[in-house]
Amino acid sequence: MDFLPKNRARIENMPVLPYAIEEAINRLRVNISFQGSNIRKIMIISTMPDEGKSFVSMQLWRQMAEADVKSVLVDLDLRKSVMIDKYRICQEDGGRILGTSFYLANDIFLEECVLRTGIGKGDILPNNDNLVNPSMLLEGDKLEDTLNALAENYRYVIIDAPPMNLVSDGERIGSLCDGAILVVRGGETPKKMVHNSMRQLERAGCPLLGIALSRVQGSGGGYYYKQYGKGYYGSNYGYYADGR
């Protein structure tokens, strides 16, 4: 039986992107689609805060949904998610959005929490209750079961994660995903720290699908995307620049 979210949401503040950024995200989407049908649960991660994870997750999800690919965006930044406020997401019936941490902490059907949006084939599970310590929720079996249930119902489960350097949340989430996109803020994040994140992903058994360089000078503030093939340090990676 088809998974049918009970509630609908409006996303009132979705920005229109400059062409170069829209194109770079599109390239990321196309590259992901070439990774094969086993790659369904994809974590968007970065080393440090503020590198552009939530932006990439939201835009990648939107483009997939608009391309008629059934996709769900899962907000797993349970400590300091700003998605609902930033994009002005509201439930159409005026009800309170339950969200990821509420779902994980309570005995409730997933269909009550995932929201259908007006954006193509896109559904979302935002987080509405930020927690000081969500480790118990992330470590429990329920998260794994939830992501697997979503992966059976959606072609892509795009997961917005917290940064890797602060807490172990990212590693835990990565261990449940089929792959990760590492967002790196161009010219800001020290290489050593990026390599640390790559090692953490490796330890979590989460293949690195690609690196999205954000806010790169000379690219119109856009994204470069570097693909690392199927492995961690695959030799046949391509390099894509946008905006020129």
Ligand X SMILES: Nc1ncnc2c1ncn2[C@@H]1O[C@H](COP(=O)(O)OP(=O)(O)OP(=O)(O)O)[C@@H](O)[C@H]1O
Pick the stretch among 28-36, 38-46, 51-59, 151-159 that binds Mg ion (CB under 5 A). 51-59
Please give the Cα distance from 103 to 111 (Å, whole number).
Answer: 10
Q: Is 18 in the site for ligand X (CB under 6 A)?
A: no
Beta carbons of 186 and 214 less than 8 angstroms apart: yes
Q: CB of residue 239 vs ligand X: minimum separation in angstroms?
A: 18
Q: Is 101 in the site for ligand X (CB under 6 A)?
A: no
Please give the Cα distance from 176 to 42 (Å, whole number).
Answer: 9
C-beta closer to Mg ion: residue 117 or 214: 214
Maximal CA-CA distance, the chain: 51
C-beta closer to ligand X: residue 52 or 122: 52
Please give the Cα distance from 128 to 89 (Å, whole number).
Answer: 10
C-beta closer to ligand X: residue 48 or 115: 48
Per partner kind, with CB cut-offs from 5 to 8 A, the member of Mg ion, ligand X, none near residue 172 is none
Per partner kind, with CB cut-offs from 5 to 8 A, the member of ligand X, Mg ion, none near residue 52 is ligand X
> Mind giving me the DSSP string for 4-49?
--SEEEEE--PPPPPHHHHHHHHHHHHHHHTT-TT--EEEEEESST
Q: CB of residue 150 vs ligand X: minimum separation in angstroms?
A: 20
Query: Which candidate, 28, 34, 17, places its Cα nearest to that of 57?
Result: 28
Please give the Cα distance from 43 to 55 (Å, whole number).
Answer: 13
Please give the Cα distance from 71 to 120 (Å, whole number).
Answer: 9
39-78 positions binding ligand X, by CB under 6 A: 46, 49-55, 77
C-beta closer to Mg ion: residue 67 or 167: 167
Q: Is 54 in the site for Mg ion (CB under 5 A)?
A: yes
Applying CB under 6 A, the residues found at the interface with ligand X are 46, 49-55, 77, 163, 214-215, 221-222
Applying CB under 5 A, the residues found at the interface with Mg ion are 53-54
